[in-house]
Amino acid sequence: MMWLTLLYGCAGGAALLYVLYRWVIPSVVQYHAGLALIWHDTIVEGLLNALTQTTRPQRLLAAVQKNATRGDPRSVVKAIDQFCRQKEWAMNVGDEKGCILDSVVTEVNPATVLELGTYCAYSTVRIASLLPPHAKLITLEFNPHNAAIARQVIAWAGLGDKIQLVEGASGDWIPKMKEKFAIETFDLVFLDHWKDRYLPDTKLMEECGLLRKGSILLADNVICPGTPDYLEYIRNSPRYKSQYFRSHLEYTKVEDGLEKSVFLG
């Protein structure tokens, strides 16, 4: 009888923990920026990494290979969104802000694009799928593990001929853009890397002459986790005209948004 009581107690405890993990805690942190990032990006990721002996990017890639149609970029995007909403949160721009990104890419119709921060190539695929023929997209990723996963996601989407993925620090590569890639200026720059690099990399692009009159900077996560120094600069500089697009942190109800800034020369 004691063993049965113990067994029932363990089963009940396990069931309670699962309910807390799967539904209760995710529902609570949906509306709190700090808790959402700690829960999803530290606790859950660390736990799943230890239990599965894989990384979040590897699990995301597996979801793409299982659920997306090879050569179909939109099915790759859909598979990642489903993974992030139903299985495991990840720091992509996400479906809600992704629609804003799509509208800006379509509006600008850029011939040259720079993406700072590839991660697993979610936004890379979204952007490349909307580019005109012969357009060039260069995406920079500092983390070699993320870059290896991103290359496979890009290949699965069938967009390898449109995208050049470069590994390394943005501060090292931005001054080499003209020499290494025969780029004069970028029509569109998507900033989604380390938040403390938004401002120095923007100033570096200005110094290197990579922005022309009319170039668009689109910056993600300007509210959560936040880029106060970048916003202070970009909104008060006479060299830019800026607009904020209110949205939510990817796959949550926490306020976040994109800042679109037109370089005036």
In the chain, which ranges are E strands?
A: 112-116, 136-141, 163-167, 186-191, 211-219, 240-248, 255-263
pLDDT at 2: 55
Distance CA 209, CA 263 (A): 12
pLDDT at 32: 76
Q: What is the DSSP letter of 85?
A: I
Q: Annotated catalytic, 195?
A: yes
If one counts every other C-beta atom within 10 angstroms of the C-beta of residue 149, the result is: 24
From residue 79, give the alpha-carbon distance in Å to each of 73, 82, 129, 230: 10, 5, 15, 32
Instruction: Single out the catalytic residue among 192, 201, 256, 259.
Output: 192
Q: Annotated catalytic, 250?
A: yes
pLDDT at 33: 78
Instruction: Name the architecture of domain 95-263.
Output: 3-Layer(aba) Sandwich (3.40)
pLDDT at 13: 54
Residue numbers of the chain with a pLDDT score lower than 50:
8, 16-17, 19-20
pLDDT at 34: 81
Q: Annotated catalytic, 232?
A: no
pTM of the model: 0.91
Pairing status of strand 186-191 against strand 211-219: parallel
pLDDT at 20: 45
Instruction: Single out the catalytic residue among 45, 141, 201, 220.
Output: 220
Beta bridge pairs of residue 218: 190, 260
pLDDT at 12: 55
Instruction: Single out the catalytic residue among 95, 201, 221, 256.
Output: 221
Q: If you write DSSP's letter for every residue of 138-171 in order, what string do you get? A: EEEES-HHHHHHHHHHHHHHT-TTTEEEEES-HH
In the sheet where 112-116 sits, what is the strand order? Answer: 163-167, 136-141, 112-116, 186-191, 211-219, 255-263, 240-248
Instruction: Single out the catalytic residue among 201, 250, 256, 259.
Output: 250
pLDDT at 39: 82
Give the tokens for residue 34: 């700090």
pLDDT at 25: 64
Instruction: Single out the catalytic residue among 162, 195, 256, 260.
Output: 195
pLDDT at 139: 98
Q: Annotated catalytic, 236?
A: no
pLDDT at 8: 47
Beta bridge pairs of residue 240: 263
